[in-house]
A = this chain, B = another copy of it.
């Protein structure tokens, strides 16, 4: 075991998946083998063992992994215990969906602000928060020490919003607008483009000879 080594990106991407698998188990279950977990996560069992081994020596030979230890370690490693605060900019349908989405709070992310510049939306209450004008972002970010900005605006304003968020001290951006944001040193940006996902599906749709995806 090689403690405190960087975890490969491919593994990082799977850690939330493992966490989700554990959640899906019934409460009785106390332990799980790499084989079982692999089956649920639909990956190879050696993969599971290697991935988890980056988090330390968590399993017991001949037995398997203790679920609660595993959960704790995954949460710790992913930084879900820090209780990061996030703001959502743009409260159209997508922004509202994100605001209502329970999965965030559940995973330790606190949404502490909703922003929009549409007068019809300002002061509306959504998921227990009052929508504020974008000019107020700085105040909220300072007050709650916001680390994550979620952009759910139309594409044409996304870059401006991103710059503003970074100005406010935000360190990570999750972008749902269908544009490419400029890279900024020290700032993590992840983009989720809904239509790109469909396009990838589409590629695999036209070729009947693709059974062997496994």
Chain B residues with CB under 8 Å of A79's CB are: 202-203, 205-206
Provide the residues of chain B in CB contact with A199, threshold 8 Å.
15-16, 19, 78, 80, 107
State how many angstroms separate the Cβ of A164 from the closest Cβ of chain B.
Answer: 18
Known: A147-B205, A183-B42. A196 touches B86 (CB 8 A): no
Contacts of A20 in B (CB 8 A): 178-180, 193, 196
For residue A24, CB closer than 8 A to chain B, the reply is yes
Quote the shortest CB–CB distance from A78 to chain B (angstroms). Answer: 5
Q: How many residues of A contact B (CB 8 A)?
A: 64
Within 78-127 of A, Cβ neighbours of B (below 8 Å) are at 78-80, 82, 84, 86, 92-94, 96-98, 100-101, 103-104, 106-107, 109
Describe A's contact surface by its main secondary structure: helix
Q: Is residue A153 within 8 Å, beta carbon to beta carbon, of the partner chain?
A: no
Task: State in angstroms the CA–CA spacing of A98 and B197 once bound together.
Answer: 12
Which A residues have a C-beta under 8 Å from some C-beta of B? 7, 12-13, 15-17, 19-21, 24, 40-42, 77-80, 82, 84, 86, 92-94, 96-98, 100-101, 103-104, 106-107, 109, 147-148, 150, 171-172, 174, 178-180, 183, 185-186, 188, 190, 192-206, 211, 213
Told that A148-B202, A190-B201 touch, could you supply 20 new A-B pairs with CB distance under 8 A? A13-B200, A15-B203, A16-B196, A16-B200, A20-B178, A20-B193, A42-B180, A42-B183, A78-B202, A92-B97, A92-B100, A97-B97, A98-B194, A107-B199, A109-B202, A148-B205, A150-B198, A171-B205, A190-B197, A192-B192
